[in-house]
Structure 1
Amino acid sequence: MTDADAAKVETALDALLADHDPKAEGYEEFRGHQFDAGLAWVQYPEGNGGLGVAPQLQRNVNRRLAEAGAPPMDLSMFFIALAGPTIVTHGDEAVKQRFLRPMFTGEEKWCQLFSEPGAGSDFAGLGCKAVKDGDEWVINGQKVWNTLAHIADWGMLVARTDPSVRKHRGMTYFALDMHAPGVDVQPLRQITGEAEFNEVFMTDAIIPDAHRIGAEGEGWRAALTTLMNERTAIGGSGGGGSAPKAGTGPIAELITAYSDHADTLSAAARDEVMQLYVRADVLRLTNFRASQAAKAGNPGPEGSVGKAVGAVLNQEITEAVLDMMGPAGQVGYDFTFRRPTIAALTGGTPGHAFLRSQANTIEGGTTNIMKNILGEQVLGLPGEPRSDKDIPWIDVPRG
């Protein structure tokens, strides 16, 4: 990060705020101007919502815009943190021009279409089929555990385009129109009563080749960009998360419960609170350091550290809160079936937080998979034996 980069960002901010008042303009309108000014993702190239400067400078942008009255990002746009980096890294210029701006403004919302009933932890084993027909692809298959697919306009889809090569090589990454004929979204009800997850069925759905993201057969590489950003985003939301200071984020709920029940807690319970607090702050600092180390906006395997640790820690924190509250922690929650937005998933009662946290060790990569990634990619340990690694996908035995 140079002084020239910082000055470039400040100049762009001055011009944006001089011409556009975030308190007077609509949400989508102002974010469109922000994108055009190169202040959406400052590390992206000019013309793609960025200025080609260090990603750390985005904090300056976010701070000044908040001070000027700009509202925070709509949480239903969570998936721009996954789709945006993937498109800017692997998409051609036409794809970037088509998708990045309406993604950032919130005019078009996204979801992720990766997991399948027979290909969850083994993502490269997926069987959703894409067959090329001229300038189009015909899609047939099923995806599952698709968060907020019911409100999405576009889906990040990885499909099998060549079953005759080994499984990591025969996949291609697409942008799927979620409103296209042949795309059917069905809810999956959770223990919380909500149906934020879905299963998506594609029957002769059509995707133009112009909506392919990356080269044909290179879907694995593009998907890794999505997955690394997903793990960083989920890891940053658990325990201490990436909160700006100690004691904020999910751990704050435990601090509140401790304050309300401190007089009745045993020494062992007080010790547990302190240990969770320390672990949450270590996670917060680890996530902060990882974000500082990112050179070009796409995190490395350190995102898996936050994901693996944060998932378990968040479950332990929410359980400790309920333990302190006793029977009171089990009342006041509505289990009625409902189709939520992501904003509705971030609040609620401690009971809701406890139930929802049970998904943390599964979503975005199970904890055991994260341990494999950390062992092999971070610690350099030998990989597990994989008998199907070098044989064509079509020859891989299936149950």
Structure 2
Amino acid sequence: MAIALTEEQQELSAAVEGFVARYASRTRADLDSFAAGERPDHWRALVAQGLHAVHLPESHGGQGGGLGDLAVVLDAVGRGLLPGPFVPTVLTSAVVSRTPEGPARDDLLDLLVRGAMAALVQPGSNLTATPSAGGWVLGGQSAPVLGLLAADVLVVGAETGSGTVWLRLDPDADGVERVAEEGVDLTRDIGRLYLDEVAVPAGAELGELADVRHLVTALSAAETAGVMSWCVRSVVEYAQVREQFGRPIGSFQAVKHKTARLFVAAELAAAAAWDAVRSLDQDADQQRLAVGSAAVVALGRAVDACLEAVTLFGGIGFTWEHDVHLYWRRAMSLAALTGPPGTWLADLGEAALDHRRSASVVLADEDSDFRRAIGATIDTALDLPEDGNARRRFLADAGLISPHWPAPYGLGATPAQQLTIAEEFARRSYTPPSTVIGEWAMPTILAHGTPEQAERFAGPTLRGELVWCQLFSEPGAGSDLAGLSTKAVKVDGGWRLDGQKVWNSGAHQADWGICLARTDPDAPKHKGISYFLVDMRADGVDVRPLRQATGASEFNEVFLTGVFVPDDGVVGAPGDGWRLTMTTLGNERTSISSTLGSRDEEPLRDLITKNLYAGSRSDAIAALGRTAAYGNALGALTLRETLRRLAGQQPGAGASVAKVASAQLHRDAADQTFALGGPEAAVRSGGPADVARLELGAPAQLIGGGTVEIQLNVIAERVLKLPRG
């Protein structure tokens, strides 16, 4: 639950957390001095360590890092609740560092690196700048400004009538008044700036600035992610030791699920904040998408997340003595200062109408020859006829259908190469064919099967000549998969299978199925299970489509009555099926998580662009904005998992988090799409859009691949280490 990805960033994060922890014990004792804007005791040590200048250029005495490094620091600062003017100062210096080079910028950066405290007064306040013979005359009153009282120097954005001018302002100049306000955040000062005919010399201009609002919001989201991370960590520690009814409260499922959902929210916030910061070096539309998403998913969610933490602590969490209300207050302050959520939703929704968030990243030591070769191969494929199977056969033979599979079926592509391949397909707006269930079945066969099995099934699967289904779930063994009762009895030359499977996607169209059956009824629950390859046209296989609430029949129940499977249809050793199943389920959940999210925007986008929605356009745009925000955060989460693998790190909790988050996103998007349908949502055909389709189909996402509740248990017990019930 940290923004830090690389080993260096993780070390930086740990160093900042350690620094903050050394001074945290005095926070409550010094609340009055923080509110008054007094220089905190830790400031000298903070400056000596250079924590305030990690993002500033070395030419001015800074550490030479980027905004990504500053985001790591802010994340750790939020987690430790560092008091005082640090955040207002680094936000100001980050803004100044991105202004055009010039004497005013250089002098100010030198001052800030030496340890001056600063505050940023953003445009939108009632501050005006009028040209004068010697420069500018400022007047008006600001909105609340964080760190105003502590600041040694101010950077002010004032309206000129034709735009915004950014000026360095001495807070002690004639006509400048700083008035303290009682802040929600007790650990930092806040006030209003009053300017009465304040003369500012012409040399104080800082030049044109990029979108300061995006920069400040992205970095504020990073601090917010740290606040949410602290909530999760503290709640987990409490739930592990606090007892009720003779048991740790973390063993109760209600607490498990609330804590796991809090963790999911924190992980999405960290991913969205990270993505927002990296977007600051991209074009304006990409910034609107990423920063808007962080404003919704991090800043817009943090207050409620902190409230959830309060309730998980119970009565003690609602006392003045418990620190959770200090974090809650900081989340409230950050959310308020970055603007109303509705404004962000509106801007994000408008951006999402015509643009998609890019997952493109710049990789160190990229193999440009590999990229060119992949691009040329895809171009050759696209020159082939789209009808028929020629294009797919060519891509399969080139190893580009499932490039992560080992040669000769794939390329044995590394995570970096997989990212390159995906980008090259995306550049050409072409989605490569999928093997669907084959993406879950074949990796297991390739990893645990015989060479003959791999040769028999891999090529035809890639070319689309074989279609797979999964015969795992049973009427009495859904989420409790190991509770299956289908039996496999050894007979001459193979095995005889008898049992019933259910919820089998595409079984009515499948050529082969991967099937779990119990070969040793006396073995423990997770033992004595074997992994079979079943010919779906074999005698005794009876596929019966299940008609869903949608009216379609995508799922099936499958009856196996005396079905013969030869010995070469067993993958691995008899009794080793559960271990193999973990390979399959791992691929299944990763596959589901990596494809859900972004497509939930399409029905909303379609309703808006075709003017098919009921009600106001602003409601429709806000619905698209909210869906895009969580879809973008999910995409960022998946991208971060890929980058972890590129760095040689172990996979995180991303797959389980994404499964829960994508299911909730799909449900919310379906609800919003249906609501926007208005009276037309009452009809399925003949109307302008079948908006009921998503609502009726939501259970497939909420149940498929393991129910959300099961995934919450997995997160609570395996990731957060809460005790089992």
For the aligned pair, the TM-score class normalised by the smaller chain equals 0.7 to 0.9
Flag the 1:257–1:4 CA change in 2: closer, same or farther, 3 A: closer
CA contact (8 A) 1:171 1:219 kept: yes
Identify the residue that residue 494 of structure 2 maps to in structure 1.
136
CA distance in 2, matches of 1:95, 1:101: 11
Identify the residue that residue 364 of structure 1 maps to in structure 2.
705
Which aligned pairs between 1:86-125 and structure 2 lie closer than 5 A? 86-125=444-483
CA distance in 1, matches of 2:425, 2:605: 30
Identify the residue that residue 376 of structure 1 maps to in structure 2.
717
Identify the residue that residue 536 of structure 2 maps to in structure 1.
178
Matched residue of 2:443: which SS? helix
For the pair shown, the structure with the greater C-alpha radius of gyration is 2
CA distance in 2, matches of 1:2, 1:92: 37
Identify the residue that residue 333 of structure 1 maps to in structure 2.
685
Match of 2:676 among 324, 330, 346: 324
Pair 1:287-2:638 in alignment: yes
Identify the residue that residue 23 of structure 1 maps to in structure 2.
384
Q: CA deviation at 1:290?
A: 2.7
Question: Mean alpha-carbon deviation: is it higher for 198-207 or for 374-383?
Answer: 374-383
Identify the residue that residue 351 of structure 1 maps to in structure 2.
692
**Partner AA of 2:412 in structure 1:** G
Q: CA deviation at 1:372?
A: 1.1
Identify the residue that residue 604 of structure 2 maps to in structure 1.
254
Unaligned ranges ≥5, structure 2: 1-362
CA contact (8 A) 2:529 2:578 kept: yes
Pair 1:228-2:586 in alignment: yes
Identify the residue that residue 391 of structure 1 maps to in structure 2.
none
CA contact (8 A) 2:378 2:425 kept: no
1:358-386 deviation line (CA, Å, top 9, x unaligned):
332111111111111111222222234xx
- Using CA pairs below 8 Å that are at least 6 residues apart, which structure has the higher relative contact order? 1
CA distance in 2, matches of 1:15, 1:234: 27
Identify the residue that residue 215 of structure 1 maps to in structure 2.
573
**Partner AA of 1:35 in structure 2:** A
Pair 1:45-2:379 in alignment: no
CA distance in 1, matches of 2:622, 2:494: 61
**Partner AA of 1:137 in structure 2:** W
CA distance in 2, matches of 1:101, 1:330: 46
1:142-187 deviation line (CA, Å, top 9, x unaligned):
1001111000000011111111111111111111100001100001
Q: CA deviation at 1:313?
A: 1.7
CA distance in 2, matches of 1:144, 1:68: 39
CA contact (8 A) 1:90 1:214 kept: yes
Matched residue of 1:194: which SS? coil
CA distance in 1, matches of 2:614, 2:370: 54
Match of 1:202 among 545, 560, 576: 560
CA contact (8 A) 1:28 1:107 kept: no
Q: Which structure carries more helix by proportion?
A: 2
1:1-20 deviation line (CA, Å, top 9, x unaligned):
996966457547757866x7
CA contact (8 A) 1:235 1:310 kept: yes
Q: How many residues of Structure 1 are paired with residues of Structure 2 in the alignment?
A: 358
Flag the 1:102–1:293 CA change in 2: closer, same or farther, 3 A: farther
**Partner AA of 1:34 in structure 2:** L
Flag the 1:118–1:6 CA change in 2: closer, same or farther, 3 A: farther
Unaligned ranges ≥5, structure 1: 244-248, 335-347, 385-399
Flag the 1:38–1:190 CA change in 2: closer, same or farther, 3 A: closer
CA RMSD of aligned residues (A): 3.3
**Partner AA of 2:439 in structure 1:** A
Identify the residue that residue 655 of structure 2 maps to in structure 1.
303
Matched residue of 1:193: which SS? coil
Question: Mean alpha-carbon deviation: is it higher for 93-102 or for 60-69?
Answer: 60-69
CA distance in 2, matches of 1:291, 1:357: 28
Q: CA deviation at 1:131?
A: 1.3
Question: Mean alpha-carbon deviation: is it higher for 83-92 or for 256-265?
Answer: 256-265
CA contact (8 A) 2:516 2:531 kept: yes
Flag the 1:263–1:367 CA change in 2: closer, same or farther, 3 A: closer
CA distance in 1, matches of 2:377, 2:491: 47
**Partner AA of 1:254 in structure 2:** L
Q: CA deviation at 1:262?
A: 8.7
CA distance in 1, matches of 2:506, 2:536: 11
Matched residue of 1:359: which SS? helix
**Partner AA of 2:413 in structure 1:** V
Flag the 1:356–1:209 CA change in 2: closer, same or farther, 3 A: same
CA distance in 2, matches of 1:266, 1:25: 38
CA distance in 1, matches of 2:589, 2:364: 29
Q: CA deviation at 1:299?
A: 7.0
Identify the residue that residue 339 of structure 1 maps to in structure 2.
none
CA contact (8 A) 2:614 2:677 kept: no
TM-score, length basis structure 2: 0.45
Match of 1:193 among 545, 551, 563: 551
Q: CA deviation at 1:122?
A: 0.5
Flag the 1:151–1:22 CA change in 2: closer, same or farther, 3 A: farther
CA contact (8 A) 2:660 2:711 kept: yes
CA distance in 1, matches of 2:653, 2:440: 15
Q: CA deviation at 1:105?
A: 0.6
1:111-132 deviation line (CA, Å, top 9, x unaligned):
1111001101100010101112
Matched residue of 1:382: which SS? coil
**Partner AA of 1:307 in structure 2:** K
Q: CA deviation at 1:134?
A: 3.5
TM-score, length basis structure 1: 0.78
